[in-house]
Amino acid sequence: MLTLDRLTLGYGGQPVLTDVSLSLPDGAALALLGRNGAGKSTLMKAIIGLIPVQAGRILWRGEEITRWPPFRRARAGIGYVPEERRIFADLTVAENLATGLRPPDPASPLPPWDIPRVLGLFPALGRLLGQRGGAISGGEAQMLAIARSLLGQPRLLLLDEPAEGLAPLIVQDMVEAIKLMNAAGLTLLLSEQMLPVARACASTALLLGGGAVQATGATETLLADQGLTERWLGV
Ligand SMILES: Nc1ncnc2c1ncn2[C@@H]1O[C@H](COP(=O)(O)OP(=O)(O)OP(=O)(O)O)[C@@H](O)[C@H]1O
């Protein structure tokens, strides 16, 4: 459903990544791996349209979207949860959720998301509906950001470091929620520094390093390759 065809991208004409190709089928879960600064966030921003690509093409469900603005990509079913979450601090949790709500896409085979369904996935949010967005914890804000994106009825969700900065128990809840989202048919692309989280959430992985794709394949196989992980992940 998502194809990246020899993408070169970066900032101000300087490439961060060169020649990135990827094919992500419906229902897949893929982890983007790489050290700090390897370009994981940059690649996600290019997929959602926040930075222009310098060369190559992005195809979504067979259509070229390389030059589409972000809102059009979102409407076409690509959701994005940035690392910084962007919760509205002055709105309540319920109001934050409402900002993400879009009618279901009749063309999508996925069951639509509504408020009860996202609260079923993240029960902790149900107890916080009247709280201001600025008054909740980092883990709760991450759940809220994902729940709000789901209400936009994505078919592909880009999750930038979903477990970063969360307490270990909350990381477990987050992993379970991500697995449930994928089991419900949502295609996932997640950037992840915590390898156990990547392993648990994504059966396939793509390793970025040195400004290029260094490996791609089954997450287990890739992480079992010590030469690769030492060189490009430092573990
Ligand atoms: N707005 C920007 N302008 C210029 N360079 C940037 C900008 N944002 C990121 N970079 C550079 O692009 C490179 C890739 O950064 P990116 O944030 O994509 O890495 P990452 O793999 O997501 O790492 P992290 O986990 O630290 O976010 C880095 O060298 C970074 O300094």
In this predicted complex, what is the ipTM? 0.94
Reported in sequence order, the residue ranges of the chain that DSSP labels E, i.e. its strands, are: 2-11, 14-24, 29-33, 53-60, 63-64, 78-81, 156-160, 187-191, 204-209, 212-218
Does 209 sit in the ligand 1 pocket, CB within 6 Å?
A: no
Global pTM reads 0.96
Q: Exposed/middle/buried for 25, CB within 10 Å: 0-12, 13-18, 19+?
A: exposed
Q: How confident is the model at residue 10 (pLDDT cuts 50, 70, 90)?
A: very high
Q: What is the DSSP string of 104-153?
A: PPTT--SPPP-HHHHHHH-HHHHTTTTSBGGGS-HHHHHHHHHHHHHTT-
- Integer Cα distance of 4 and 19 in angstroms: 9
Q: What is the pLDDT of residue 13?
A: 84
Q: Which residue has its alpha carbon closest to ligand 1 atom 5?
A: 11
| Strand partners for 33 | 207
Contacts of 147 (CB under 8 A, 6+ apart): 97, 100, 118, 119, 121, 122, 125
Distance 38 CA to ligand 1 centre (A): 7
Q: Could you give the domains of the chain?
A: 2-233 (3.40.50.300)
Does 33 sit in the ligand 1 pocket, CB within 6 Å?
A: no
Query: Which residue among 8, 9, 17, 41 has the greatest number of ligand 1 atoms within 8 angstroms of its CB, and so is best to mutate?
Result: 41
Distance 6 CA to ligand 1 centre (A): 19
Does 37 sit in the ligand 1 pocket, CB within 6 Å?
A: yes
pLDDT digits 0-9 by tens, 94-136? 999 999 999 998 989 999 999 999 999 999 999 999 999 999 9
Distance 11 CA to ligand 1 centre (A): 9
Does 136 sit in the ligand 1 pocket, CB within 6 Å?
A: no
